[in-house]
Structure formats: C-alpha cells, structure tokens
C-alpha cells in the first residue's frame, strides 16, 4: 500500500486508517486479530476517542508489541463514554482527557490529538483562548506530537447533517493555526466538502475523512444507480472498492477512516486501497457521472 505525507507534519502514513468507534463490545482476541489484519495489510493509522465506548481501553490491551507499528490518534472534549454525552471545552477537561487517554491506551504520547468539536459556528473559548493554548502546551511538553480539529456531522434530525457542519467548519476553522489537521465527513456519495478539502490541503493542513462508504440517506442507492459508476469498475472490482479508490484519488485527502469490526470487510477495504488511485481519465469520468446524477461538491 502506498504511503502519504500527513500534511506538513512530517508524518508519513497509509491512505486508509482503522476507525474504532464500534469495537468496544469485541473480545480482546477479536480486536487483536482486527488490528493485526490492519497492520499486516499496511494500515498505519488507528483513530479512537474517549467517547467511543471502551475503545481506548480495549486498544490499550492489544497495543503492547504493536504500538511502534502504528500512528495513534484520539480526541478531547469528551465528558462520558458515548458521543451523545455533553462535551466540555475547558483546560481541566482537556488535561483530564489526555491523561486518561494515555493511561487507557498504555502509551506515553499520541501521534495526533484532536479537538472533538460540537459546533460549526464558534470555536470553544475563542480561537486564541485556553483550548488552543492548552493543546499547544501539551504538544510542547511532548505528550502529543501534533494537534488537530475533528468537525461534527450531527444526527439525521439535524438540517446540516451529514456534511454541512464540516463545510462550515472548514470555512471558519480549516486553516486555523496552530492546528495541523482537520477531520470531516466526505465520500463519493457525500461530496459536499470536496472543494473545501482541496483548498484547505493546499495550505499545508492534513485532511482526514470519515464516512466515505456510509449511506447517510435512503436516497443514496438510487443516486448511485443513476450515476452508473459500476460501469467504470475494473474486472472483479465491486462498487465499494471503487468508492474507496475514488476517495483516494481526491486531491488533498491524507487518509480516510474505515470503521469496521468485521475482519473480511477490513481485508476487502485494504485490498481496494492497495490497488491505488483511479486513473485520471476514470476519475474525471466518475466525477462527471456524479455531477450529472446531482451529487456535487459545495462551491468553495
């Protein structure tokens, strides 16, 4: 699998990462098998959060002997073990989050620490306030190597769901220093942020995307059929593999997260990513078909 620069950080990693939001109910042996499958397939990124139930603790049990092979990222601002718990953005909460994350994960430092933002309208505490200062201090102290922002997507009842919060956040905070990365929703069927990703990445920020295979709407199957992307697949390639490769081809994406608890699903995604980006001709044709089907980026 190819390796990619992570923005201007100097980190080099895989173009896909393992998202661990749903692993908390797995047996330790099952989680270890998934992690080994990811690492043996060339995946380097592992993403978690304190508000992913039991995810950090489970990872902490399986990381010994493997930590040196991966790039580990978690988040802060969480007050409970579920993403639906209220978030709090102040210095004591962030410091507690970090200390507890390091303890649960059994590591001395994180490769990336992300603010788990809950608003696309305002930066908690002000852009130069205690949140920014605290995260900078932890980077200087060596507890985290890099700091970033993870933008919300909301829930199905939210009129800005799933990608508009990310677009608004990119407008307001995408190039905000001293943060080195952003994370947001993007996929071939959720192209709202495509132009935003390209623009923000040009400033040197790393861009992580999530949900690039997720069907956020019942209308997606119809839209996908209308776009006719299956006609562009290589022999033996299914549409999911094609959508992964489409995401890998979008300029500016550092890596995309694959959230799964199924080893065969993970293997299939690794195999798709290992095929690499689409050719320029196929990518242009896919974009045109998606545009024609009404699946277009928001104008940046």
Query: Alpha-carbon torsion 243, 259, 83, 166, what sign?
Result: negative
Which is nearest to 55 in space by CA: 83, 29, 25? Answer: 25
Strand segments, DSSP code E, in the chain are: 4-5, 12-13, 16-19, 45-47, 71-76, 112-116, 147-150, 181-185, 206-210, 255-259
Question: Cβ(192)–Cβ(167) under 8 Å?
Answer: yes
DSSP letter for each residue of 60-119: HHH-TTTGGGSEEEEEE-B-SSSTTSPB--SHHHHHHHHHHHHHHHT-S-BSEEEEE---
Looking up tokens 């309208």 gives: 121
Q: Point out the catalytic residue in the list 52, 161, 216, 220.
A: 52
Tokens describing residue 217: 């709407």
Catalytic residue check, 216: no
CA–CA–CA angle 255, 260, 153 (5° rounding): 60
The β-bridge partners of 71 are 45
Catalytic positions, written as ranges: 52
């Amino acid at each position: 699998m190819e390796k990619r620069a992570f923005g201007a950080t100097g980190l080099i990693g895989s173009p896909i990462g393992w998202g661990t939001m749903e692993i908390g109910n797995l047996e330790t042996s099952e989680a270890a098998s998934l992690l080994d499958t990811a690492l043996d397939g060339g995946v380097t990124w592992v993403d978690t959060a304190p508000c992913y139930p039991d995810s950090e603790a489970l990872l902490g049990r399986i990381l010994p002997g493997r930590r040196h092979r991966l790039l580990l990222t978690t988040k802060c601002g969480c007050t409970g073990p579920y993403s639906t718990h209220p978030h709090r953005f102040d210095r004591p909460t962030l410091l507690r989050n970090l200390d507890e994350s390091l303890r649960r994960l059994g590591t001395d430092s994180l490769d990336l620490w992300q603010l788990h933002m809950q608003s696309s309208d305002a930066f908690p505490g002000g852009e130069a306030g205690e949140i920014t200062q605290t995260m900078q201090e932890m980077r200087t102290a060596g507890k985290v190597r890099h700091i970033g922002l993870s933008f919300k997507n909301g829930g199905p009842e939210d009129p800005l769901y799933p990608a508009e919060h990310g677009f608004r956040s990119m407008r307001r905070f995408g190039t905000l220093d001293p943060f080195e990365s952003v994370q947001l929703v993007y996929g071939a069927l959720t192209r709202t942020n495509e132009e935003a990703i390209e623009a923000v990445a040009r400033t040197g920020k790393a861009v992580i995307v999530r949900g690039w295979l997720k069907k956020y709407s019942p209308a997606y199957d119809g839209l996908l059929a209308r776009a006719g992307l299956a006609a562009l697949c290589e022999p033996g390639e299914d549409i999911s593999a094609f959508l992964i490769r489409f995401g890998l081809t979008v300029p500016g994406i550092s890596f995309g997260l694959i959230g799964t608890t199924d080893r065969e699903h993970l293997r299939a995604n690794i195999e798709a990513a290992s095929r690499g980006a689409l050719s320029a001709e196929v990518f242009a044709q896919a974009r045109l078909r998606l545009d024609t089907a009404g699946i277009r980026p928001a104008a940046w």
